Structure 1
């Protein structure tokens, strides 16, 4: 079985997918699409993924898109080690924590939105940075409470879950844009522990073959 990941080194959704693949111990081949050059809009890639977004995963003759769906597929197809807890209630909490990032932070701060703010709406870089910090701050404030309640080293419990797959790339993005993370000590402790694991380190943008 060959797994092909279509992604970009600094894409947060590609980053979280690499983490999940690594945690599952899966080998995969990467195909790079440079978002800065608009490679995701090429006819060849849009034939594979009509939405023209990253990542996409080719495996067993199927093309999977949207990182939440890809991560859930990986959990079902390769259940060990698990990235979701055992009980239904616990799984719902983990999914909600992940969705705080996947639905409420990341989509508002991805490249196409930031380009629209600066291009179509004429926002300055200072205004764009303020926009980024606002949505990260709102989400991280809620996650700080959830991690304080449910974390036992990692964001949820004492082992990596889907939450950590989402959290580490979002912290990377926050640091990149100079967001003040001092109000979120529990969140940063969880992110630091996750980053210390080889699966997370190998997925870091700087360690990708297409990194600048």
Structure 2
């Protein structure tokens, strides 16, 4: 497996966690997003959106982090990322989508760059923008984890929701968001970060890290 990666990409961070949890070996190929290396024609031929992550496996190139994670879970079912029951799977997917559909799309590097270049936003404005959408998402997730969580976001084993939560929490810390309003999420993140699969995937552990 070849993971097209960038050390500080939260979407790539998710896939690193997923691969580690499944115990799968992979080779990382870094594309520096700050240098627009993901726009190289050779990479665009593999991943037409020019985004990371992409996972090359078995002659195919899989894109979009959640799709990759679900493929991993279907192909390598143990340990599972999703509960066995339909209600549980819906609950976990809803948590994951709060991050993947509602927080991350308006917080990624492309959006931050557009705010600066197209709308004249200064650094403080960009930080306020990031914090606004993370706060809204974390407010909802705190209530969802309070309802369905245990040691982790859903139950007592790490799963899809945690794989997305930990990288988003990393982003919150980068943008100096006060996370004290979400103690349940903080406890889940602490437990997850203590696991080797999560720890090894952390941005600061990647060889390209600044």
Give the counterpart of 1:107 among 73, 93, 105. Answer: 105
Structure 1 residue 140 and structure 2 residue 138: aligned? yes
In structure 2, C-alpha distance between the alignment counterparts of 1:211 and 1:184, rounded to whole Å: 28
**How is 1:34-113 mapped onto 2 (pairs within 5 angstroms)?**
34-113=32-111
**C-alpha contact 1:41 1:52 (8 A) present in aligned 2:** yes
Q: Give the root-mean-square deviation of aligned CA atoms.
A: 0.5
Which residue of the partner structure matches residue 185 of structure 1? 183
Partner Cα distance (2:55, 2:208) in 1: 17
State the alpha-carbon separation in 2 of the partners of residues 192 and 7 from structure 1.
Answer: 24
CA distance in 1, matches of 2:93, 2:196: 23
**8 Å Cα contact 1:155-1:191 kept in structure 2:** no
C-alpha distance in 1 between matches for 2:142 and 2:128: 20
Report what 2:9 is aligned to: 11
State the partner residue of 2:169.
171
Measure, in 2, the Cα distance between the counterparts of 1:113 and 1:11: 13
Q: TM-score scaled to structure 1, two decimals?
A: 0.98
Q: Give the drift of 1:124.
A: 1.3
Name the CA distance, whole Å, in 1 between partners of 2:148 and 2:195.
Answer: 20
For residues 208 and 24 of structure 2, the distance between their equivalents in structure 1, rounded to whole angstroms, comes to: 20
Q: Which runs of 5+ in 2 are unaligned?
A: none
Deviation at 1:117, TM superposition (A): 0.2
- Aligned counterpart, 1:119: 117
TM-score, normalised relative to structure 2: 0.99
Tell me the CA shift for residue 83 of structure 1: 0.7
C-alpha displacement of 1:209: 1.5
CA displacement 1:44-74 (0-9 Å, x = unmatched): 1001111101100000111000001100000
How far apart in 2 are the matches of 1:149 and 1:161? 16
Q: Distance in 2 between matches of 1:96 and 1:168?
A: 16
Query: Which residue of structure 2 lines up, in the alignment, with residue 205 of structure 1?
Result: 203
Match of 2:27 in 1: 29
| 2:155 alignment partner, one of 143, 152, 157 | 157
